[in-house]
Chains A and B, each alone.
Chain A
């Protein structure tokens, strides 16, 4: 199994809603990442988990709350989002956080905030 699975694929939410994005991998990878990608732009790093501990928070607003319940799962909890938060949210994993490690990406969750 060399896949990173993200659910849901599409999400529409109002600014007062609370929702969660889910990411799962069963490759034994110990580093997991959340990226945000606007249309026709490169992915921007949001969070990095290494061995289930938050290693990097790229100054992301608190309305985004990551969680890593175990080594296979990564969640992104959303609350009180703004329309400008509409984007493709990508989860990725790598075996470790070493510099020569490639990233495995999920297909993403396309989020629309109304």
Chain B
């Protein structure tokens, strides 16, 4: 079964500093990995997805994700955090047995302090 784990409930970072939100995955076949962001009282927004062969994936709003097959990780990164990045971030994996299901991690709340 496919699963993702986000080990941190919350990440705190100062504005202007680099940020990392961690995600590890467990898949039986090819990894179809995604990051989504959720602002208060809103639906989720797509940030980026893993593309086979690319160890560094660039996404929306200056975010990027680093794929590491040996560590089964897909960490979300940004070189310089903004206060407006404060939100709830979900790592997700798409079920490759038909593609119907997206399974979300527990979520990590990012708090960027001015």
Contact = CB atoms under 8 A, between A and B. Distances in A.
Interface of A: 4, 6, 31, 40-43, 45, 48, 50, 55-56, 90, 92, 96-108, 110
A30 to B, nearest CB: 12
Contacts of A4: 43
Interface of B: 30, 32, 34, 36, 41-46, 49, 88, 90, 94-96, 98-107
A29 to B, nearest CB: 13
Contacts, number: 64
A6 B88 CA distance: 21
Nearest to A48: B100
Contact of A42 (B42, B46, B49, B90): B90
Among all A-B residue pairs, the 5 with the closest Cβ atoms: A105-B43, A42-B104, A99-B99, A102-B46, A99-B32
A102 B49 contact: yes
